[in-house]
Structure 1
């Protein structure tokens, strides 16, 4: 049995693609996933499955969301162990952050090409800092994520992959829930 975290992209934002978490939980349970739990309204679902084929799970979840809710939602999937590794690889230590700085992680559907990563370097600046490690982009926002150049849409466009972004506190809380 594997514990997975499904991170839905772009739901419940600005009144768009509205999904209640109790409804989403019920949908996952109807798909025969076990120990289904959700965390906050941004579409974080922790569940267990015997299926070890991540691509098949993503496709099934995306298709079921489209069937049940009538719109497309990209799903980024990680195992509990993979999300624990995301925490371990964070270059921006929380205890070293200056007042007002925050860390975000954009979780990517797949590893971006070396060419795409190289092109992203042209957008480096003094306001925000980022590190790409595998299928994650760690972003240190010195002002606010809302003012960051490295928004989810920007990263998707430049890296040519689907992505969903979570703040550092949410990533840690999701792992805590998955462990329990």
Structure 2
């Protein structure tokens, strides 16, 4: 696994520092995100084992990619079009952070990009997508907790928070699509 890299630097280099190979990645947030994103309200954070970066940021999301460069860019820089929101072709991670922060979807692209720029990401390249899938499965069922992972996250300590995320995301989508 690489050392966490500040996203703003990756963006400034137009994602060229990222490999195009398959792999897995980890997103790190300032420790204050545990309160800001209401994780501490729904979970006993003392019972959550979170990956911690050398700078004190905590990992709250983990994923896999066919291309690490494309996936990180998709999460951090996807254009916010109404059709993406309506069809569900919006990064789940980006959508969750939009909803948690209450950013106006029609005007929030700059705000969500700024939010992402304060995050860090680390990754591990793999030879195949299957190898990445195996690592992701081990991570989600291993010693660390990933509160912002909604799919396949069956940790009892996170269930109340994941329910909260689903309700929040649904209300956010309805607000902007009338669906």
Higher strand share: 1
Same fold (TM over 0.5): no
Determine which structure has greater relative contact order: mean sequence separation of CA pairs < 8 Å that are 6+ residues apart, divided by chain length.
2
User: Could you say which TM-score interval applies, normalised by the shorter chain?
Assistant: under 0.3
